Amino acid sequence: MQEEVRVQRIPVKVYRSSDRLMVAAPMPGLQPENIKVEVTADNQMVIQGDLRGVLKDIKDLLIDEWNVGSYYRTLPLPDAVDAQRANVTYGNGVLVAALPVSARTIPAVLGLDKVGADHGERIGNAGHPQERMPGY
């Protein structure tokens, strides 16, 4: 029997400071290499997470009250951003993107590098000194 994978709309929180936008999105159950963030030339952010190996090696699923992945969301950004300088982290099932505010939108496709078990990051500087996540 082939398992049906439902694509879920990701809820987000968007914050703004004087120099950057922050987007936070819960996406539990993924690996960093299965997450893609894209900022398009028309100032849209596309967040996508593809689930790999759903219920691998599990014989009988007895109760299934919540879903893990696949995830997808497109949202308009309220300000132009430089996506090439964005920092993106994934840990504890939450994706966080820090996007420097810019005079015009600079699009980019942002993948994550695995830096620990179920943790990933993409350091683009976001206008701040480059630092790794603590403990990795």
The pLDDT assigned to 52 comes to 67
Domains of the chain: 8-52+66-111 (2.60.40.790)
77: helix, strand or coil:
coil
12: helix, strand or coil:
coil
pLDDT by position in tens, the chain (length 136): 445 556 788 899 999 999 999 999 999 888 888 999 999 999 999 999 987 655 556 667 777 776 676 899 999 999 999 999 999 999 989 999 999 999 999 999 999 988 877 778 888 876 555 455 454 4
As to burial, measured by CB atoms within 10 angstroms (0-12 exposed, 13-18 middle, 19+ buried), residue 123 is middle
Q: Tokens at residue 4, please?
A: 């049906």
pTM above 0.85, yes or no: no
The pLDDT assigned to 122 comes to 83
Q: State the distance between the two ends of the chain, measured CA to CA, in whole angstroms.
A: 40
